[in-house]
């Protein structure tokens, strides 16, 4: 195609309102300069030791918040949004010319991630609007559960009728669970409507059988006889001690693998990598690398046969083949496909002749199907819809671990070079070159063994990285540091829909893991703030700090939550008088910054009440999740504990679900995090109640007290308002989701002791 006739497969457009945001950021910066001038000008006399030290603490906290504000401004400075031209892709590349795509689905525990949910995700990606012979779907079961294998076996049979049904009705979403929940029953008596009921009944039967086996916790003997793959579990000691289990349930190369309409089916593979107590299995990163090992290995076979040029790591051994896909999509088991065109959207970037050669991955945002109207526990709305776009504008989106399409060469450690352009090859088949599925299974088990990665670069220079609990962020940084570019794509119809935690505890624990992983990166050689990353733009390096600094944020936040109320009880003013001209910059920053945050949240599709909930969760996470992340990582550095990957529950009981749908916060059981939240809430409440005691207002009129302590009173009132759900959960609620009595008693005692210490 001549250069003059070149039409791009995607376009990039800057976000609207950038000038307004930059004006806002400049005005906030000016106000902050006045605040710092006030802090330095009115520094208390050195003789007043207590007042001096708390003043220094306030100044340092404000410096920290200013630095973090500077980082957030960099992320939001130049967000970009992208759109694709799939019609041009179709006209330029026919079905035969399209490349293969491998889809990697990860699950870890059938108790927390129900097998019915897992197979709905698997079926949804099998039904992509894409040539099925070009698709290979791998399920990595890190729980090594025969129940999950049985569910996948049922899914492989149901796929024979589900995929043709999706094509005929252009089904969206292609997850059967989501589709039949959202789609109203047809009222006509046509043949198509009858088929709708037949397919639904078939799915309900499949679901019922899987749920029955799940409740039993094991696969009955009569079912085990249906497939020889169940024999693999005869050698399983436990989910943490078993050999590699590999089963090809649908062999896409087999001429007999077709659906009810005679069309080819995607390849479907089950893998439970080997686990042994003496080997570290590296959590999700290890599971993904076990799958990538397979993919690279199989691709080597095809490229050897067809004499393609490709640089293969020396440790990859050639023994068998399954797929030849140059692109890899990875999704979590709870993130089902909501857009059957998602693969074609991603390929518009990779296959663009002029601007796609240096793109390593296309990241879709995480969106969720179980959100309540006002998102009681938050939903990462700003992160997914705005900050990822800001990353893209600064040099490339970060990798968030799911909903991402990778270029294989980049994921496996290849450095980008203009002199060595990366090419893709379409998947090709030669029916004469074929091995049996049983041969493939036996030969490939070694690739998922514990010893396979020993003394190799897997997890270091190749594949998903092992050195952090947030393997996704670290992997994305490593890829970008090798010269590759990444893009963020948020199509009008979300590409994937997942589930958010439905209890406060699950939410806080999830953020603790994320913030601890970010802290691991911050204190390692991978920190973009301290170590040079020449292939990454400086603004992109700084952008990553917005997450790496999550955990340290807890200290400045805790200082602002505790010290102003403490000093108010002691009669120490930390802010200018309300009547003073120095109060203006404080008021300006408080009001304008929060109004901008509200406008930003609503612009991203949220509600005002949702924004209030987001502010509440902002405070809860900083005072508990991020604080405990610092403690846990410190203990690990002192070798007092080991890293642990906590799988978030994807299912809850009926009472929990009911409270979640009614947007009632669920506490439910004792937790150190709840003790901290309740103690801080009560301490600020006691501070307001004690405002009329002699320690504060003995010789002063009320108006003078408010003038002197106005900003501290305002801060205390805001904290009390934010903590209203905690007060209700301690004193007024009777349901099982209330704060336990022991936590309430413990928190009251601690808050009273702190208040007494301040007043006497």
Binding site residue list for UDP-alpha-D-glucose: 113, 142
User: Which whole-number Å values give the CA distances from 481 to 192, 403, 544, in the listed order?
Assistant: 53, 21, 13
* Omega cis (within 30) before 485: no
Question: 619-657 burial by CB neighbour count: b if 16+ within 10 A, else e?
Answer: bbbbbbbbbbbbebbeeeeeeeeebebebbbbebeeebe
Environment class of residue 382 by beta-carbon count within 10 Å: exposed (0-12), middle (13-18) or buried (19+)?
buried
What is the strand order of the sheet 367-368 is part of?
A: 336-337, 496-498, 367-368
Burial 16-26 (b: 16+ CB within 10 A, else e): eeeeebeebbe
Contacts of 491 (CB under 8 A, 6+ apart): 83, 84, 339, 341, 342, 345, 364
C-alpha–C-alpha distance, residues 561 and 622, integer Å = 11
Q: Give the integer Cα–Cα distance in Å for 300 and 298.
A: 5
Q: How long, in residues, is the chain?
A: 760
Give the angle subtended at the CA of 380 by the CAs of 376 and 383, to the nearest 5°. 150
Burial annotation 464-493 (CB, 10 A radius, 16+ → b, else e): bbbbbbbbbbbbbbbbbbbbbbbbbbbbee
Of 322, 241, 246, the closest CA to residue 275 belongs to: 241
What residues have CB less than 8 Å from 701, skipping those under 6 apart? none
Nearest to 653 by CA among 111, 109, 181, 175: 111
Of 534, 526, 510, nearest in space to 478 by CA: 526
Q: Which residues are documented as binding site?
A: 113, 142, 284, 332
Q: Which listed residue (102, 141, 142, 146) is catalytic?
A: 142
Which residue ranges are tagged as binding site for Mn(2+)? 284, 332
Task: Check if 102 is active-site.
Answer: no
* Spatial distance between the Cα atoms of 83 and 605, rounded to a whole number of angstroms: 19
* Token pair belonging to 427: 């998947």
Active-site pick, 102, 146, 352, 472: 472
CA dihedral 593, 572, 717, 664 (to 10 degrees): 90
Told to judge if 142 belongs to the known catalytic residues of this protein, a careful annotator would answer yes
Q: How far apart are CA 119 and CA 125, in angstroms?
A: 10
Catalytic positions, written as ranges = 142, 472
């Amino acid at each position: 195609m001549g250069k003059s006739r070149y039409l791009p497969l995607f376009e990039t457009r800057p976000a609207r309102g950038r000038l307004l945001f930059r004006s806002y950021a400049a005005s906030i910066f000016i106000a902050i300069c006045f605040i710092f001038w006030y802090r330095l000008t009115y520094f208390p006399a050195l003789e007043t030791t207590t007042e001096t030290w708390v003043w220094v603490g306030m100044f340092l906290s404000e410096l920290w918040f200013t630095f973090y504000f500077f980082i957030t401004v960099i992320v939001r400075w130049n967000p970009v949004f992208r759109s694709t031209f799939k019609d041009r892709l179709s006209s330029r590349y026919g079905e035969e010319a399209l490349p293969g795509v491998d889809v990697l689905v990860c699950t870890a525990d059938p108790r927390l991630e129900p097998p019915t949910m897992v197979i709905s995700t698997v079926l949804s990606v099998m039904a992509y609007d894409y040539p099925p012979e070009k698709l290979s779907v791998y399920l990595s079961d890190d729980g090594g559960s025969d129940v999950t294998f049985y569910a996948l076996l049922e899914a492989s049979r149901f796929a024979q009728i589900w995929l043709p049904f999706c094509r005929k009705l252009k089904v969206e979403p292609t997850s059967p669970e989501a589709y039949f929940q959202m789609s109203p029953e047809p009222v006509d008596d046509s043949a198509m409507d009858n088929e709708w009921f037949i397919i639904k009944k078939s799915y309900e039967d499949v679901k019922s059988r899987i749920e029955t086996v799940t409740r039993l916790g094991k696969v009955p003997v009569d079912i085990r006889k249906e497939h020889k793959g169940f024999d693999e579990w005869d050698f399983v000691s436990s989910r943490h001690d078993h050999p590699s289990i590999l089963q090809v349930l649908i062999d896409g190369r087999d001429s007999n693998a077709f659906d009810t309409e005679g069309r080819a089916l995607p390849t479907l593979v089950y893998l439970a990598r080997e686990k042994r107590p003496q080997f570290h299995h590296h959590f999700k990163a290890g599971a993904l690398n076990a799958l990538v090992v397979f993919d690279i290995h199989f691709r080597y076979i095809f490229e050897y046969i067809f004499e393609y040029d490709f640089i293969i790591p020396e440790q990859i051994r050639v023994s068998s083949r399954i797929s030849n896909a140059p692109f890899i999509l990875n999704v979590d088991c709870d993130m089902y496909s909501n857009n059957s065109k998602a693969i074609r959207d991603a390929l518009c970037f990779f296959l663009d002749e002029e601007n796609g050669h240096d793109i390593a991955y296309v990241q879709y945002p995480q969106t969720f199907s179980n959100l309540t109207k006002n998102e009681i526990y938050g939903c990462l709305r700003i992160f997914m819809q705005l900050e990822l776009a800001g990353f893209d504008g600064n040099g490339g989106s970060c990798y968030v671990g799911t909903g991402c399409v990778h270029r294989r060469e980049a994921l496996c450690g290849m450095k980008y070079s203009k002199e060595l352009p990366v090419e893709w090859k379409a998947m090709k088949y030669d029916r004469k070159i074929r091995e049996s599925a049983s041969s493939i299974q036996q030969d490939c088990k070694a690739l998922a063994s514990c010893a396979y990665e020993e003394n190799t670069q897997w997890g270091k220079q190749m594949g998903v990285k092992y050195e952090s609990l947030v393997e996704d962020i670290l992997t994305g940084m490593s890829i970008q540091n090798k010269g590759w570019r990444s893009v963020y794509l948020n199509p009008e119809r979300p590409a994937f829909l997942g589930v958010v935690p439905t209890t406060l505890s699950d939410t806080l624990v999830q953020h603790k893991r994320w913030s601890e992983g970010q802290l691991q990166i911050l204190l390692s050689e991978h920190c973009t703030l301290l170590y040079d990353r020449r292939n990454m733009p400086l603004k992109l390096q700084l952008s990553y700090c917005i997450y790496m600094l999550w955990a340290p944020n807890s200290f400045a936040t805790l200082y602002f939550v505790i010290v102003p109320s403490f000093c108010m009880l002691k009669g120490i003013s930390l802010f200018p008088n309300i009547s003073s001209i120095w109060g203006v910059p404080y008021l300006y920053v408080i009001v304008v910054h929060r109004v901008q945050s509200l406008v930003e949240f609503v612009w991203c599709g949220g509600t005002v009440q949702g924004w209030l909930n987001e502010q509440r969760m902002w405070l809860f996470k900083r005072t508990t999740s991020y604080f405990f992340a610092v403690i846990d990582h410190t203990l690990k550095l002192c070798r007092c504990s080991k890293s642990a990957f906590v799988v978030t529950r994807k299912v809850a009981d009926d009472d929990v679900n009911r409270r979640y749908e009614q947007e009632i916060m669920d506490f439910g059981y004792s937790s150190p995090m709840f003790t901290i939240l309740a103690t801080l809430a009560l301490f600020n409440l006691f501070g307001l109640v004690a405002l009329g005691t002699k320690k504060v207002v003995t010789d002063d009129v009320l108006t003078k007290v408010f003038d002197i302590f106005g900003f501290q009173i305002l801060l205390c009132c805001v904290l009390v308002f934010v903590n209203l759900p905690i007060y209700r959960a301690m004193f007024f609620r009777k349901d099982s989701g209330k704060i336990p009595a022991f936590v309430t008693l413990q928190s009251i005692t601690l808050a009273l002791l702190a208040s007494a210490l301040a007043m006497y």
